[in-house]
């Protein structure tokens, strides 16, 4: 694992832990920002995997991304996310 990969994993872990802890209605704006940040990181990882030709890894990552979008605290922000597909043509 490269230094950049370790940093990205650390950032994602931190953001996901913070997201899990934000349950109060007044946390909504901060929760939305965290979801957008996590989504940006995950989409960047997916794009990088596809550029490098890592098909199997990118398919697994796309599945993790789809599961992330279906999480209750994320689905509230993006209710249409169940219709999103991350096939090779969409990136």
* pLDDT at residue 70 in the model: 85
Taking the C-alpha atoms of residue 34 and residue 51, their distance in angstroms, rounded to an integer, is 26
- What is the total count of domains within the chain? 1
Judged against a pLDDT cut of 80, whether residue 5 lies above it is answered with yes
Can you give the residue range of the structural domain that contains 35?
Answer: 3-90
Judged against a pLDDT cut of 70, whether residue 4 lies above it is answered with yes
Q: Are 47 and 38 in contact (CB under 8 A)?
A: no
pLDDT in tens, 16-73: 999 999 888 888 899 999 999 999 999 999 999 999 999 999 999 999 998 988 888 7
Higher pLDDT pick, 66 / 79: 66
* pLDDT at residue 85 in the model: 60
């Amino acid at each position: 694992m490269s230094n950049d990969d370790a940093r990205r994993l650390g950032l994602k872990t931190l953001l996901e832990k913070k997201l899990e802890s934000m349950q109060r209605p007044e946390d909504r704006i901060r929760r939305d920002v965290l979801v957008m940040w996590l989504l940006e990181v995950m989409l960047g990882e997916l794009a990088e995997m596809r550029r490098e030709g890592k098909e199997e890894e990118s398919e697994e990552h796309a599945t993790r991304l789809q599961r992330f979008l279906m999480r209750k605290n994320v689905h509230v922000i993006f209710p249409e996310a169940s219709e999103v597909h991350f096939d090779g043509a969409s990136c």
